[in-house]
């Protein structure tokens, strides 16, 4: 007989821990906004920035998660990488939308996902600037808790056609990749309602979940960019896929309202060589 303990933590337990760690990290990020420009480094290219606050937020997240669950693994954007022994791995983005954070554009968030034996079971994306908290558990639906408003269940939109589909996307940091991504957007734009570029992949996926855009695609994301947001989108009824049958994020993340998911994925595949 298998006991509840053998089955490991429930998605709801993992979500509770993810939310409390994300809230603390978001407070730290909010306090760091004023001096954000003071300690800025670069990573993969001169436009791929990292601030001291990114590093501090990741340290806090990893510290809180492992203090509560010392046998878990961790993967983080700013270098956290630890094999665990429990079957649970936390995938964290300490600030998704670092360029927005730097410029005070109110779309940057803390993203925390809990993967159990390789499958994401719980995820939270907290927009630091607005306080909007997007959460999901595998099979338990997606929710938005916004300051001063009752928590609500999220449902992806229902655009009637591809021509009326509002699409979010993003671009990588390397010049060559951007050139290629720009060519794809130029072809896509006349075939959909319009394009949005918010600057945070995690929040883009939550925007699909909330029906604020109808679809999103991006090439070349890392797991921390999409792990939590993809679960939020999927649990809100969006169809989340990779490119031409490849796994999500390898190398593409596509999330779309079910009414246009097939034609949208076909269009992205047609335009991406
Ligand atoms: C970036 C953002 C951006 C996306 C990039 C990501 P970062 O993450 O999610 O929207 O277009 O591909 O790298 O660098 O702000 O954590
Ligand atoms: Ca990111």
- Distance between CA 224 and CA 55 in Å, rounded? 14
Asked if residue 134 lies in contact with residue 126, where contact means CB atoms within 8 angstroms, the answer is yes
Q: What is the pTM of this model?
A: 0.96
The DSSP output letter for 80 is -
Ligand 1, atom nearest to 98 Cα = 15
Q: How far is the CA of 126 from the centre of ligand 2 (A)?
A: 13
- Distance between CA 84 and CA 207 in Å, rounded? 32
Contact 170 CB / ligand 1 (< 6 Å): yes
Counting Cβ atoms within 10 Å, is residue 7 exposed (0-12), middle (13-18) or buried (19+)?
exposed
Give DSSP secondary structure letters for 110-140. Answer: EEEEEEETTEEEEEEEEETTT--EEEEETTT
Q: Pick the closest to residue 198 from 268, 210, 79 (CA basis).
A: 210
pLDDT at 2: 46
Q: Pick the closest to residue 123 from 108, 134, 109 (CA basis).
A: 134
Distance, first Cα to last Cα, the chain? 51
The DSSP output letter for 73 is E
- Distance between CA 259 and CA 254 in Å, rounded? 14
Q: Can you list the residues of the chain whose pLDDT is less than 50?
A: 1-5
Give DSSP secondary structure letters for 236-250. Answer: TT-EEE-STTPPTTS
Domain boundaries of the chain, sorted by first residue: 4-153, 162-271
Contact 199 CB / ligand 1 (< 6 Å): yes
Ligand 1, atom nearest to 172 Cα = 12
Counting Cβ atoms within 10 Å, is residue 5 exposed (0-12), middle (13-18) or buried (19+)?
exposed
State pLDDT tens for residues 144-166.
Answer: 999 999 999 999 999 999 999 99
* Three-state secondary structure call for residue 81: strand
- Distance between CA 226 and CA 232 in Å, rounded? 10
Class of domain 4-153: alpha beta
Question: Distance between alpha carbon 55 and the CA centroid of its chain, in Å?
Answer: 18
pLDDT at 6: 53
Contact 94 CB / ligand 1 (< 6 Å): no
- Distance between CA 229 and CA 174 in Å, rounded? 23
State pLDDT tens for residues 22-67.
Answer: 999 999 999 999 888 888 898 888 888 788 899 999 999 999 999 9
Contact 107 CB / ligand 1 (< 6 Å): no
Residue 266, Ramachandran bin (φ over 0: left; ψ between -120 and 50: alpha; else beta)? alpha
Question: Which residues lie across from 153 on neighbouring strands?
Answer: 143
Contact 238 CB / ligand 1 (< 6 Å): no
Structural fold of domain 162-271:
D-Maltodextrin-Binding Protein; domain 2 (3.40.190)
pLDDT at 38: 81
């Amino acid at each position: 007989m298998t006991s509840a303990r053998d089955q490991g933590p429930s998605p709801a337990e993992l979500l509770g821990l993810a939310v409390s760690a994300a809230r603390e990290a978001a407070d730290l990020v909010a306090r760091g906004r004023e001096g954000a420009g003071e300690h800025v480094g670069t990573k993969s290219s001169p436009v791929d920035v990292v601030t001291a606050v990114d590093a501090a937020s990741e340290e806090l997240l990893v510290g809180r998660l492992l203090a509560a669950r010392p046998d878990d693994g961790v993967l983080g954007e700013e270098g956290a990488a630890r094999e665990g022994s429990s079957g649970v791995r936390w995938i964290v983005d300490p600030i998704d939308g670092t360029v927005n954070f730097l410029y005070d554009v109110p779309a940057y968030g803390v993203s925390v996902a809990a993967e159990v034996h390789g499958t994401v079971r719980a995820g939270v994306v907290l927009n630091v600037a607005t306080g909007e908290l997007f959460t999901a558990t595998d099979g338990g639906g997606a929710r938005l808790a916004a300051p001063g408003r009752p928590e609500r269940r999220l449902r992806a939109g229902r655009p009637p056609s591809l021509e009326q589909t509002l699409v979010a996307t993003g671009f990588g940091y390397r010049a060559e990749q951007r050139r290629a991504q720009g060519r794809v957007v130029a072809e896509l734009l006349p075939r959909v309602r319009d394009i949005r570029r918010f600057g945070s992949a995690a929040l883009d996926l939550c925007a699909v979940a909330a029906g604020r855009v109808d679809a999103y695609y991006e090439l070349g994301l890392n797991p921390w960019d999409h792990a939590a947001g993809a679960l939020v989108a999927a649990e809100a009824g969006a169809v989340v896929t990779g490119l031409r049958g490849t796994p999500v994020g390898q190398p593409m993340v596509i999330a779309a309202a079910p009414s246009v998911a097939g034609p949208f994925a076909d269009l992205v595949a047609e335009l991406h060589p």
